[in-house]
Amino acid sequence: MKAKLLLIILLFLANLQRSTAQIIPPEGDTITPVQNIDLSTPDTVPVAIDSILSSPLTSKDQRIKYSKDSLEAPINYDAKDSMILDIKNQKVHLYGDAIVTYTSLELTADYIVFDWGNNIVEAEGLPDSLGTISGDPVFKEGEQSFNAKRIRYNFKSKKGLVYEATTIEKDVYVLGKVAKIHAKDEAAGQTDDHIYSQNAIFTTCDHPDPHFGIRSKKQKVVPEKVVVIGPSNLEVGGVPTPLWLPFGFFPLKTGDRTGLIFPRDYEFSDAWGFGLRNVGWYFPISDYLDLTVTGDIYTRGSWGIKLNSKYKKKYKFGGNLTLGYSDRISEQRGVPLSNKSFIIQWSHSQDPKAHPLNRFSGSINIQSNNYQIVNENDFDSKYTNTYTSNVNYSRMFPGKPIRFSAAMSHSQNTQTRKVDVNLPTLDFQLTRIYPFKRKKGTGKEKWFEKISLQYTANARNRFSATDTTLFTQQTLDDAQFGIKHTANSNASFQLFKYFNVTPGVNYKEVWYFDHVQKELDPALVIDTTWVQIDPDSDTMKMVLDTVSYGSIEELKVRGFKPLRLFNANITVRTQIFGTRTFSKGKIRGLRHVLKPEVSLGYTPDYTDPKFGYFQYVDTDTRSEYNDPMRYDIFENGIYDKTPSGGKSMRLNYSLNNIFEAKIWSKRDSTEKIIKIFDNFRVNGDYNFAADSFQLSRVSLAGTTRFFKGLTTLTLNASFDPYAFDVEEGRRINKFYWDTNNKLLRFEGASLRLNTGMTVNKLRSIFNGEEEKPANKKPKSAASMYDEGLLDIFGGFRISHQFALTGMKQSNGRDTFFVSTNSISMSGNIKLTKKWSLRVGNISYDFRLKRLVYPDIGFYRDLHCWELGMDWQPVNGTYSFYLHVKPGTLDFIKVPYQRRNQDAFSGF
């Protein structure tokens, strides 16, 4: 035994090369320093004994037997400052960034003492030059870690004591006075680490002195799984509150796990009573799919449920589905009223890498009975009047000029409550081909090789109803269905070098499977009235009055009925350029591009009885009063109606003007081209086949932009070449020139100015610079003062809409009035690092002289809490909240709000 010990000491002294000076432990330390060891030379620095013992054994060492009580792996340790070996007491003292590792355990601190005789390690911090303790112990196992003031751990029993420990699990901090560590020991049947704490606080606040927490006498933490607490009390700012819990458990599992969703809102409503919102359960169905079920419940009977499912497959597709149902009960004059509504939302997107030929995407948003308005208060929910949905699938065929697509679309207006659903819509398209073009060969292209063909087929089914009758049998019975075939052929030729001539023919055939038939019901419609016989008495006499001599009934006749339409046209177009240059001044050039276009088109008279598209029905059983009414048998068709204007031979003309200017910039000595008018179009037509009013109205339309696109100006005007009879209130077949010596008569016009800008954009225009992005990082008051007030409003958006409308009144006078004049603002204003102001919307209508549904709020960052308020003064709704930031404990909140049900306007 003595020989073995001597061998160990000699090996130990031969490898000591880590320090050149002895570091004496702090005064008062209970650990006895090493005696009689000369540390003046490098050969006297101690090393790890266990590292020597754990080195590979030679054949001579095979005789060495290890105790059954030995550790399962070597213990490694190191220190940045110094290490002192106490052989007598079998201890090693480590100073300065000390570290001890054993299997997956790691312990770091400024001072660590390792007792290799008892397999115990102790760690704590040391005072610096100012007397402040630093380098507190940090205990790690795998991905788990916690901090403490002092740690004592036994490697053999895998148990330890931790003083003033801070355990971090996910976003949860557990701060305890004394904690016991039981590391996992599979041999003993313990598969997880356990941490037992006394007088600990459970919080998500990372401040050394937490601003809030749940205080309990006993706590148990199973890392990455759960925190279990006994009787506990909520503390805020170190002050206990009256809120107690008999026990509690808080899941810490990472990844998706089944579990309870705590309610995010607690509220009291005068109409609905006390309620909980968004309380439910989460189901992780698979790695690609989950399901969240949440509900709202109120003490006066109102309730709601919402299902939300998200799915995603990498490199394939992803999306989410939301189904919601709401039943809000209120009272009017003591009578309970139920407002039932639902919402269906679905979005799906395909990864571009999923398939080179197939494409599928979808977005559905269907609501009934103003679901969004009833359940939400914000500006978008209140003033969004139209909801649309689109689902599309397309398929391409390589090497073939064909394409197929299938779609579903939906349009819904919350004001009229009308809903249109197109399901399905099928499209087959033959892209433009040139059937007479040579596949091979050289030489000049023949004229017939330019002839092209194109064909499309479309099948569509439409349901039209209100949002409350959409899912009824009547909606199915009133469905519209049809198939439309469209074929066209054209060619393009150059004429006299500068003219492009394009002749073309178009054929359309629509297949309907029902049509309208109207009949006169000869039954009389009689109205009954009571007439007083004598003014001096109450005697009344019943008088029968015939209101109508027959009524028109509309019948739906089932059966195949085609609609065939044909037209031909030829178009000539060219371009004329006009340029003027200047050698001096800011304007260095002007350019005018004129694009004239003339076309001649022919359309047959589809009102001719030989086509059978128009029929007549009597309107009165009395022949002397009967005036047969013409109707289109396809007037309820899903596609375009049958042309009813008679035979047409129209000469159409169009003049499109583009005005540009070349501006000299002194800043960078360059010339820039700007558009004065993007387009200014004049168009009309002349119908050779008409017996009267052969000239159409002349339309003018133009668009231009100002201030680098901030403002868009749109002009529209209409003029009539025919005179107007003021007494009869209609236009007459006389030229305006013949009656008033003027070429055109003004009928109406409109001017619209739409302006949208951010403060950064406006500032960049005035400075002649590129727009800078809005500040993303919050700034202190001092830094914002240095940069200027405009930096605070950098991302703030301002919009203005102005519309001027002019029209000809029946008395012949021209009238102009402002139809729209409103300004709106929205955005977030970061006042300080902690304070921000939210402007969802502030709009003012100058025409009506009133605010339009302001939606404003403020936010205050309280470190681990959030304070804020949202206010909609016009509707009388508001929401004040003080709650813990999003995380494990975000159900702790103090809400106070008034929602739509208690607002001035009710629902």
CA-to-CA dists, residue 72 to 68, 106, 155, 189, 411, angstroms: 10, 16, 10, 17, 71
Contact 111, 95 (CB under 8 A): yes
Torsion angle in degrees (nearest 10) through CA of 442, 448, 451, 453? -100
At residue 785, the 3 state secondary structure works out as helix
- Model confidence pLDDT, tens digit, residues 541-593: 776 666 678 888 999 999 999 999 999 999 999 999 999 998 888 888 999 99
Q: Average of pLDDT values for 347-376?
A: 87
At residue 346, the 3 state secondary structure works out as strand
CA-to-CA distance for 653 and 684, rounded, in angstroms?
Answer: 6
pLDDT at 775 over 90: no
CA-to-CA dists, residue 475 to 390, 419, 467, angstroms: 20, 11, 11
Residue with tokens 């013409």: 630
Alpha helices for 420-516 (secondary structure H):
473-477
What value does the mean pLDDT of the chain take? Answer: 82
Phi, psi of 190 (to 5 degrees): -105, 110
* Residue among 153, 144, 152, 142 nearest 174 (CA): 144
CA-to-CA distance for 297 and 273, rounded, in angstroms?
Answer: 10
pLDDT at 6 over 50: no
615 compared with 543, residue with greater pLDDT: 615
Residue 421: beta bridge partners? 410, 463
CA-to-CA distance for 257 and 68, rounded, in angstroms?
Answer: 42
pLDDT-derived band at 424 (thresholds 50, 70, 90) equals: very high
Write down the pLDDT at residue 851. 84
pLDDT at 867 over 60: yes
Write down the pLDDT at residue 228. 83
Q: Average of pLDDT values for 705-727?
A: 89
Contact 907, 339 (CB under 8 A): yes
Contact 166, 146 (CB under 8 A): yes
Phi, psi of 687 (to 5 degrees): -100, 110
498 compared with 264, residue with greater pLDDT: 498
Q: How far is CA 214 from the centre of its chain?
A: 36
∠313-316-317 over CA atoms, to 5°? 70
Give residue 849's region: left, alpha or beta (phi > 0; psi -120 to 50): left
Alpha helices for 689-820 (secondary structure H):
736-740, 759-767, 781-787
pLDDT at 905 over 50: no
Beta strands 814-830 and 722-725, pairing class: unpaired
Cβ partners under 8 Å of residue 812, min gap 6: 724, 726
Least confident residue range of 136-150, 401-415, 717-731: 136-150
Contact 171, 135 (CB under 8 A): no
Tokens of 865: 């809490």
pLDDT at 8 over 70: no
**Counting beta carbons within 10 angstroms of the beta carbon of residue 419, is it exposed (0 to 12), middle (13 to 18) or buried (19 or more)?**
buried
Tokens of 415: 């004001």
* Residue among 217, 236, 105, 82 nearest 160 (CA): 105
Tokens of 492: 């393009």
Write down the pLDDT at residue 39. 32
- Model confidence pLDDT, tens digit, residues 26-77: 343 433 333 333 333 333 334 443 443 344 444 444 455 556 666 677 888 8
Write down the pLDDT at residue 15. 43
Phi, psi of 764 (to 5 degrees): -65, -35
Q: Average of pLDDT values for 346-351?
A: 93
Write down the pLDDT at residue 368. 83
Phi, psi of 449 (to 5 degrees): -75, -15
Write down the pLDDT at residue 717. 95
| Element (DSSP H or E) covering residue 12 | helix 2-14
Q: Average of pLDDT values for 799-827?
A: 87
Beta strands 711-720 and 194-203, pairing class: unpaired
| Element (DSSP H or E) covering residue 382 | helix 379-383
CA-to-CA distance for 598 and 41, rounded, in angstroms?
Answer: 106
pLDDT at 455 over 80: yes
Tokens of 338: 């139920």
Write down the pLDDT at residue 593. 94
Least confident residue range of 254-263, 333-342, 807-816: 254-263
- Model confidence pLDDT, tens digit, residues 292-309: 999 999 888 889 999 999
696 compared with 384, residue with greater pLDDT: 696
Cβ partners under 8 Å of residue 140, min gap 6: 105, 106, 107, 108
Residue 717: beta bridge partners? 700, 749
* Residue among 629, 635, 628 nearest 613 (CA): 635
- Model confidence pLDDT, tens digit, residues 116-133: 888 889 999 988 888 888
Cβ partners under 8 Å of residue 286, min gap 6: none
Q: Centre a 10 Å sphere on the Cβ of residue 32 and count the other Cβ atoms it contains.
A: 12
pLDDT at 752 over 90: yes
Residue with tokens 């979005």: 347
CA-to-CA distance for 142 and 313, rounded, in angstroms?
Answer: 30
Q: Centre a 10 Å sphere on the Cβ of residue 45 and count the other Cβ atoms it contains.
A: 21
pLDDT at 207 over 50: yes
Alpha helices for 678-808 (secondary structure H):
736-740, 759-767, 781-787
pLDDT at 471 over 60: yes
At residue 602, the 3 state secondary structure works out as strand
pLDDT at 781 over 80: no
E-state strands within 230-288: 232-236, 239-245, 248-251, 259-261, 265-269, 273-283
CA-to-CA dists, residue 702 to 341, 520, 716, 751, 752, angstroms: 44, 49, 7, 10, 11
Write down the pLDDT at residue 802. 95
* Residue among 650, 754, 746, 657 nearest 701 (CA): 657
Record the pTM. Answer: 0.66
CA-to-CA dists, residue 561 to 468, 479, 483, 604, angstroms: 32, 16, 11, 19
Q: Which amino acid is at 811?
A: N
Buried-state track 568-598, b at ≥16 Cβ within 10 A, e below 16:
ebebeebeeeeeeeeeeeeebbebeeeebbe
Contact 190, 181 (CB under 8 A): no
Alpha helices for 35-105 (secondary structure H):
49-53
Q: Centre a 10 Å sphere on the Cβ of residue 676 and count the other Cβ atoms it contains.
A: 15
* Residue among 291, 323, 283, 328 nearest 306 (CA): 323
Phi, psi of 762 (to 5 degrees): -65, -40
Write down the pLDDT at residue 255. 60
CA-to-CA distance for 698 and 700, rounded, in angstroms?
Answer: 7
Residue 339: beta bridge partners? 328
CA-to-CA distance for 98 and 81, rounded, in angstroms?
Answer: 8
pLDDT-derived band at 687 (thresholds 50, 70, 90) equals: very high
Write down the pLDDT at residue 778. 42
pLDDT-derived band at 898 (thresholds 50, 70, 90) equals: confident
Write down the pLDDT at residue 267. 76
pLDDT-derived band at 596 (thresholds 50, 70, 90) equals: very high
